[in-house]
């Protein structure tokens, strides 16, 4: 239990530092594609967390990101919406025999199709919410939608890369 908490705290710190120090300063396609790799921390939380822990962790993660990026409440609200959707999506995607206790949703553990659905939808929800909250209007709906989708695809690609680099197939099966 303590090792799980420490591993999650270390993952949180590393992903936040990477986001704040490196990824926030990338200029991909003139700022049209913005990677938010910090959401990988939320995606990899243990499945059996209660709903209040999902939402609280999402709020805290978004709050830290808001503090570093001077976006009052935008990341926090996007993370809370994503974590609310995560609980429902995990129930929807649950295997017939259910999830094992202590299992984290990783690519090697769950398979490409499951992970593509799980992470892809949650990242898209996060990015759509964040980009439309940032704009505060719908008059440029299609350009904002296109920007959110491209950023979500870029973020998902980085999440896949991180999964391949940090999780071995043997470790992911446990």
> pLDDT (tens digit, 9 = 90+) per residue, 124-157?
999 999 999 988 777 888 989 999 999 999 999 9
- The residues, any chain, with a CB within 8 Å of residue 26's CB and separated by 6 or more, are 34, 35
Cα gap 61→59, rounded to integer Å:
6
Please report which confidence band the pLDDT of residue 106 belongs to, taking 50, 70 and 90 as the band edges: confident
As a whole number, the mean pLDDT across the chain is 88
On the question of pLDDT at 172 being above 50, the answer is no
Write the pLDDT tens digit of every residue in 70-83: 889 999 999 999 99
What pTM was computed for the model? 0.90
Count CB neighbours of 42 within 10 A. 21
Can you list the alpha helix ranges (DSSP code H) found in 22-73? 39-43, 51-69
pLDDT of residue 42: 96
**Mean pLDDT to the nearest integer, 47-66:** 93
On the question of pLDDT at 85 being above 80, the answer is yes
CATH code linked to domain 2-172: 1.10.1760
169 SS3 class: helix
């Amino acid at each position: 239990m303590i090792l799980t908490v420490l591993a999650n705290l270390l993952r949180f710190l590393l992903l936040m530092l990477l986001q704040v120090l490196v990824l926030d300063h990338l200029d991909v396609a003139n700022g049209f594609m913005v990677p938010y790799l910090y959401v990988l921390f939320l995606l990899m939380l243990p499945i059996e967390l209660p709903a209040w822990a999902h939402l609280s962790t999402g709020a805290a993660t978004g709050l830290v990101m808001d503090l570093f990026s001077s976006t009052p409440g935008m990341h926090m609200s996007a993370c809370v919406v994503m974590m609310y959707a995560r609980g429902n999506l995990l129930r929807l995607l649950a295997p017939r025999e259910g999830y094992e206790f202590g299992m984290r949703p990783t690519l090697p553990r769950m398979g490409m199709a499951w992970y593509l659905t799980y992470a892809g939808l949650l990242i898209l929800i996060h990015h759509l919410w964040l980009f439309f909250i940032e704009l505060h209007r719908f008059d440029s709906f299609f350009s904002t939608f296109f920007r959110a989708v491209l950023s979500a695809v870029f973020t998902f690609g980085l999440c896949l890369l991180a999964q391949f680099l940090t999780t071995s197939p043997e470790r992911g099966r446990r």
